[in-house]
Amino acid sequence: MANRRMFSLNVVDTDTFLEMPQSSQNLYFHLGMRADDDGFISSPKKITKIVGANEDDLKLLIAKKYVIPFENGILVISHWHINNSIRKDRYSETIYKEEKRKIIKNENGVYILNHMNGIPNDNQRYTQYR
């Protein structure tokens, strides 16, 4: 993991980001500082507590799609590749390969869930059984 991280104004200087509470913004920066070279974070709840944020701050980052959570508690920063570019000779691939297979980068370089990988999208038909 690198010691230096970048944050793009294209991400953090938007109304959506700036309208969030300062505690949520602060949590985003701390998560970014502790992410591996692919943007994955293994202990987001610990980081949340360390920086004095609360669970609602983390939930807001998830709701606003600044981070993508996985069932095992790991999460990834959605805008990782907009914020950071790491030279190939300094890059270390994430150890979270299974989670990495569940996401793709869209045309803007933003991580999104790979719906072709068995993860349903929001357009699933709801069936009510009676």
Task: Please state, rounded to an integer, the average pLDDT across all residues of the chain.
Answer: 89
Structure-token pair, residue 108: 């803007």
**DSSP string covering 41-83:** ES-HHHHHHHTT--HHHHHHHHHTTSEEE-TTS-EEETTHHHH
4 compared with 56, residue with greater pLDDT: 56
Pick one of 2.115.10, 1.10.10, 1.10.150, 1.20.120 as the CATH number of 9-117: 1.10.10
Q: Is it the case that residue 112 has pLDDT exceeding 70?
A: yes
Per the DSSP assignment, residues forming a β-bridge with 105 are 111
Distance CA 67, CA 11 (A): 12
Q: How confident is the model at residue 87 (pLDDT cuts 50, 70, 90)?
A: confident
Q: How confident is the model at residue 119 (pLDDT cuts 50, 70, 90)?
A: very low
Q: How confident is the model at residue 126 (pLDDT cuts 50, 70, 90)?
A: very low
Strand order of the β-sheet with 75-77 is 40-41, 75-77, 67-69
C-alpha atoms less than 13 angstroms from C-alpha of 124 in its C-beta half-sphere: 9
50 compared with 2, residue with greater pLDDT: 50
